[in-house]
């Protein structure tokens, strides 16, 4: 029998049986717990846990009746694969256990629209990389010129910075325009006020499962043993605040006000059929950054923008995760080469994912080229940067034969600054 679920799932759904992303959800009178998305339903893993349906690695661990994925993620790849095998088997079209038991199905399968979603992990630390060569080149051209677009270190290591974990929020939570110091064009002293150059950044993030002991780097060949799954990321950016503050230490207030992530954590095993070689790296990286197998994934990405005047959004960017110059194994290996200890639930993000064409640039900074070429929208409006009331929605999927491995979406609307917070 074909590898299908007993639940009806259209081929354009992001959530077929081949995907099975994890989430944290709650329903009235039931506390947050771990679920798996299948079609338009959530499979309640805490409920299944009560029936002792999982294998020996998970028996008695009670990791699914918790308000985050951290405990399950910390168990490592053998436990992840055991859980995935059990869940897949229960949902198969040829397995009668749930299929032919209406009462059990009613308890175990929760309609998505009746559930409240929560942040899937407790994020202790957040690191953002700068792994797209096209994005780094575009930004470099804007600020330093074509001859000095890439800094001397960029082709030798995955550049990154430590972000703010406390302001990572779930898709659907709207984002308030930040305020701070900016330097007006031609000015000699800063002014204070709302950011006038608020931007999105199309990114993807990966979540750490088992960590590493302090002082013990994770080799690049073992990196994927520590990566639980991936989410969509919008790392909002206040470009004018950043331009004034970033020298000599890099992003700070321009990035710490909000980072949005999608609620569905797609496991790495679901992405495996879409693995492919990434860009050729020249010069060859140092040995600790040389994996022996391909590490890119063919994940189609889109950004949709809907202004307050629009009845439907415009697609303003189409990019792909495969464009990243540095892959996630290299990012992780570089992060820990000093002996830095990662922990379950840590979030590492790719940085803006820009492709080779103008319509594949993953930020307003690039799409409108620093405001010099405002983006024309179907409504007749233009945008150089985001305005209050604008809604940004990102989505992504891998396209298989008659099925998709999707990430759902990450969305938020821009709210005005709280002006009472004057210095």
The DSSP code for 417 is: P
Quote the CA–CA distance of 38 and 7 in Å, as a whole number: 8
Choosing from 14, 135, 323, 334, the catalytic residue is 135
Residue 327 and residue 107 in contact, taking contact as beta carbons nearer than 8 Å: no
Known catalytic membership, residue 118: no
| CA separation for the pair 178, 416 (Å, rounded) | 9
Long-range contacts of residues 139-143, Cβ cutoff 8 Å, at least 24 apart:
139/365, 139/366, 142/365, 142/369, 142/370
Helix (H, G, I), strand (E, B) or coil at 76: coil
- Eight-state DSSP code of residue 5: B
Phi and psi angles of residue 342, each rounded to the nearest 5 degrees, phi first: -85, 155
Q: What are phi and psi for residue 43, nearest 5 degrees?
A: -85, 120
Two tokens, residue 166: 């406390």
How far CA 89 is from CA of 78, 98, 129, 299, in Å, comes to: 17, 10, 37, 26
Angle, alpha carbons 38-41-44 (nearest 5°): 90
**What is the C-alpha separation between 280 and 76, in angstroms, rounded?**
31
> Using CA atoms, how far apart are residues 290 and 158, in angstroms rounded to an integer?
12
Active-site amino acid positions: 135
């Amino acid at each position: 029998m074909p590898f299908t679920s007993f639940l009806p799932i259209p081929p354009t759904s992001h959530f077929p049986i081949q995907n099975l992303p994890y989430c944290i959800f709650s329903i009235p009178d039931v506390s947050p717990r771990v679920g798996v998305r299948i079609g338009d339903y959530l499979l309640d893993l805490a409920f299944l846990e009560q029936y002792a349906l999982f294998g020996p690695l998970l028996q008695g661990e009670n990791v699914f009746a918790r308000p985050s994925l951290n405990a399950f993620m910390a168990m490592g790849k053998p436990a992840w694969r055991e859980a995935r095998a059990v869940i897949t088997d229960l949902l198969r079209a040829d397995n009668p256990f749930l299929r032919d038991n209406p009462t059990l199905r009613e308890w175990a399968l929760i309609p998505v629209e009746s559930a409240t979603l929560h942040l899937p992990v407790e994020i202790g630390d957040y690191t953002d990389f700068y792994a797209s060569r096209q994005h780094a080149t575009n930004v470099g051209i804007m600020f330093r010129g074509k001859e000095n677009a890439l800094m001397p270190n960029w082709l030798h290591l995955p550049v990154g910075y430590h972000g703010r974990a406390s302001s990572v929020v779930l898709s659907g939570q709207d984002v308030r325009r930040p305020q701070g110091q900016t330097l007006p064009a031609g000015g000699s002293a800063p002014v204070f006020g709302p950011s006038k150059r608020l931007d999105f950044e199309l990114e993807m993030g990966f979540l750490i499962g088992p960590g590493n002991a302090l002082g013990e780097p994770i080799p690049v060949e073992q990196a994927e043993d520590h990566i639980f799954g991936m989410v969509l990321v919008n790392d909002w950016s206040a470009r004018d605040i950043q331009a004034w503050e970033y020298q000599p230490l890099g992003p700070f207030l321009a990035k710490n006000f909000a980072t949005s992530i999608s609620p569905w954590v797609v496991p790495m095993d679901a992405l495996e059929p879409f693995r492919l070689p990434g860009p050729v790296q020249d010069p060859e990286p140092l040995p600790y950054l040389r994996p022996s197998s391909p590490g890119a994934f063919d994940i189609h990405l889109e950004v949709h923008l809907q202004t307050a005047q629009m009845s439907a959004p415009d697609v303003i960017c189409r990019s792909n995760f495969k464009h990243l110059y540095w892959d996630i194994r290299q990012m992780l290996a570089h992060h820990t080469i000093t002996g830095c200890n990662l922990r379950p639930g840590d979030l590492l993000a790719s940085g803006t994912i820009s492709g080779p064409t103008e319509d594949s640039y993953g930020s307003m900074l690039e799409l409108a080229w620093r405001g010099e070429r405002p983006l024309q929208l179907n409504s007749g409006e233009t945008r150089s940067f985001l305005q209050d009331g604008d809604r940004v929605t990102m989505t992504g999927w891998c396209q298989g034969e008659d099925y998709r491995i999707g990430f759902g979406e990450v969305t938020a609307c821009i709210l005005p600054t709280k002006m009472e917070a004057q210095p």
